Amino acid sequence: MEPLSSFFAVSVILLGIGIYGLTTKRNAIRILFSVELIYNAANLNIIAFARLRSPPLVTGQVLVLFTIALAAMEAAVGLSIIILVSRLNAEIDLSKLSKLKG
């Protein structure tokens, strides 16, 4: 069996890719991709840490089921906002959406 630290490593790399996307990309849909990747990194971390104890904690899996459902809702609301913004402004580049700027 693979040591748990390798799973943590994959999780940290996913988190790094997500943060990289969040900071460098300006397209709203890409930013949503990054957020989803960070969600996945967190889920993987939770599941791996739940296996650390012996016997393993089942709470980790329950928590991840909740997180996955939350991420799906977040995607649904976020994407409907993106569609609305693109219809109103013909643009989803976040650096150009400056209507609310004072």
Per CB under 8 A, contacts with another protein among 7-66 are: 7-10, 12-21, 23-30, 32-34, 36-37, 40, 43-44, 47-48, 51-52, 54-59, 61-62, 64-66
- Find the shortest distance in angstroms from Cβ 100 to another protein: 17
Query: Minimal distance in Å, beta carbon 2 to another protein?
Result: 4
Q: Are 11 and 45 in contact (CB under 8 A)?
A: yes
Copy the structure tokens of residue 98.
Answer: 């400056």
90: left (phi > 0), else alpha (psi -120 to 50), else beta? Answer: left
Which x/- pattern over 81-100 shows residues binding another protein (rule: CB under 8 A)?
A: xxxx-xx---xxx-xx----
Assess contact for 94 and 27: CB atoms under 8 A.
yes
Q: Give the nearest distance from C-beta 26 to another protein in angstroms.
A: 6
- Supply angle C-alpha 48, 50, 54, rounded to 5: 115
Query: Contact with another protein (CB under 8 A): which of 79, 100, 101, 102?
Result: 79
